[in-house]
Amino acid sequence: MKKNIRNFSIIAHIDHGKSTLADRIIQECGAVSDRQMSNQVMDNMDIEKERGITIKAQSVRLDYELNGEKYIINLIDTPGHVDFSYEVSRSLASCEGALLVVDAAQGVQAQTIANVYIALEHNLEIIPVLNKIDLLAANPDKVKDEIEHIIGLDCSDSVMVSAKTGLGIKDLIEAIIKKIPEPKTDDTKPLKALIYDSWFDNYLGALALVRIYDGMVKKGDDVLIMSTNERHEVLDLMYPNPISPIKTKEIKSGEVGIIVLGLKNVGDIRVGDTITCASNKALEPISGFEEAKSFVFAGIYPIETDKFEDLRDALDKLKLNDSSISYEPETSAALGFGFRVGFLGLLHMDVIKERLEREFNLDLIATAPSVTYEIVCTNNDKILVTNPSQMPSSDKIAEIFEPYVKATIITPSEFLGNIITLVNNRRAIQTKMDYITETRVLLEYDIPLNEIVMDFYDKLKSCTKGYASFDYEISDYRSGDLIKLDVRVAGEVVDALSIIVPKTKAESKGRELVKAMKEIVPRQLFEVAIQASIGNKIIARETVKSMGKNVTAKCYGGDITRKRKLLEKQKEGKKRMKQVGKVNLPSEAFLSVLKID
């Protein structure tokens, strides 16, 4: 039976039609009835359907009959956005093949290239698929040439489909069965199951989605999680299905399935871990599965301070479903108790904050994101700083190292000037420029991660009318001339608003930041000074004018000195208030840093 199993993934750039193609394959295999079918049936989060993006890789087991023989097809749909490329690598580790979907109108994009390299690292059989061939703008021959020129894949037997209309889907499924190899496994060896996804179910506890490499697992078996060495009983086994999982008594080698162990503690299952049989233990776990490293850090605080423990519980449960986040408690003078959370990118941060608010009913404030800096102190100590408020004073710093990324941008040549202007303002170093065709250019840059983490993607899209595509990977740490910029509101430093900026840009950033803050800070009964400072030196200032109460409203006519006396009294009161006045900052103030350019 094993020779009739096919495990494959779908990889592509954003919006090239992965999820729609998955819908058509599921429909063709009859796994979901027409009544139950919906658009992007595998995207089961509200936030995925609203934004039209895949955030979580999803799996489905399909049955298909070809020439009288029955096949099991395990499809793993992957995200396309750069922030979720970790999900892609995780899914590809569990497959033998991948469909490389390329839009027949848009051609090869930046993330198409990045995802292909991940697939090649896992030695997968890659089938090129040209999607959207029903569009008037489709040019399959030109796109085939692009794939061969940029990626080096032979496109002579690529499959042409339209995921929207269902054209060519049967041919695609036949190509999957013919070209993707069967899983290489051994039923006689001890059980080895790779956990490649997990999530929390309120009724069943922590669930593990596994790919079985060797052996088999049955309901009632005693199993061992290799990293913790803890024994558990298998309470239930299921095959993944987009509508509801299908129960089974056993899962054999080469198959994909869900193991229910009834675990209440979310920390007991870790993605990338190996499950083996307690009585006949595997000698070593499945290797080559890297943990995700966080590159962007932000403070997340509950608006209601008594919700701190609820936030901790929510992060624990979310980490089970998204193992790429990291977090540790931190306190802020301005915001109280919260967590410093590590993300893979800005979209990832946005999605995690929204999931915390929606799925766990929390009201949260997020501070401006920052990256990890490596600081060499004057006494030769090395420290890692993820929060600008942890940065030592300038007299104790010998050198600061910041992370750089290798960025790939593919753009129509007419926008080349705009892109070069944009990246030059972000301290980028060009390493490559290659004309793919007469009208499309591939650019490679080394850019500090700090420069792209705020709003680079939005600016890139707006200066190219949405036509440029962008992908990046972390390369190394390099020395930088950086400084900490503080914001003072009514004379007090607001630690949650501190940012690390290049020395040359400090004054302009400071001016823009206090300007943006002035629009957000509500008027008080006294004047509020908003200042940007480097150490004790003030470099920019804006003043929020006081809001006057009409103290003379009750004076009808009469001597002017009466009114003057009341106004003088009010002025004295405001002076006193200014000395003890506290300003409550709205949550938007902490993201005003994102609005500066």
**Start-end of H helices in 279-345:** 308-321
Task: Give the model confidence (pLDDT) of 202-227 as tens digits.
Answer: 788 888 888 888 888 888 888 888 87
Half-sphere exposure of 542 (CA within 13 A, CB side): 16
CA distance 253 to 192: 9
Predicted model pTM: 0.71
Any binding-site annotation on 394?
A: no
Task: Give the model confidence (pLDDT) of 182-205 as tens digits.
Answer: 888 777 788 888 887 777 777 888
Any binding-site annotation on 18?
A: yes
Whose tokens are 């109108």? That residue is 105
> What is each CA distance from 407 to 196, 215, 469, in whole angstroms?
28, 42, 10
pLDDT at 446 over 90: yes
Task: Give the model confidence (pLDDT) of 12-37 as tens digits.
Answer: 877 777 778 888 888 888 766 665 55
Pairing of β 246-248 and β 250-251: unpaired
Superfamily the domain 2-179 falls into:
P-loop containing nucleotide triphosphate hydrolases (3.40.50.300)
Fold match flag (296-367 vs 483-595): yes
Which residues on adjacent β-strands are paired with residue 99?
Answer: 10, 127
Domain limits of the chain? Answer: 2-179, 192-277, 296-367, 374-480, 483-595
Record: fold of 483-595? Alpha-Beta Plaits (3.30.70)
pLDDT at 87: 55
Any binding-site annotation on 149?
A: no
Any binding-site annotation on 133?
A: yes
User: What pLDDT band is residue 152 in, cutting at 50, 70 and 90?
Assistant: confident
Task: Give the model confidence (pLDDT) of 400-415 as tens digits.
Answer: 999 998 988 988 889 9
Any binding-site annotation on 17?
A: yes
Whose tokens are 């106004």? That residue is 567
CA distance 66 to 69: 5
Any binding-site annotation on 49?
A: no
Any binding-site annotation on 20?
A: yes
pLDDT at 481 over 80: yes
pLDDT at 204: 84
Any binding-site annotation on 16?
A: yes
Calculate what percentage of the chain has a pLDDT beyond 70. 84
Residues near 579 by Cβ (< 8 Å), separated by ≥ 6?
Answer: none
Superfamily the domain 296-367 falls into:
Elongation Factor G (Translational Gtpase), domain 3 (3.30.70.870)
Any binding-site annotation on 131?
A: yes
CA-based R_g, the chain, Å: 28
pLDDT at 404: 92
pLDDT at 266 over 70: no
> What is each CA distance from 381 to 114, 375, 401, 444, 476, in whole angstroms?
36, 8, 13, 34, 20
Any binding-site annotation on 19?
A: yes
Domain 192-277 falls under CATH 3.50.50.60: no
Record: fold of 374-480? Alpha-Beta Plaits (3.30.70)
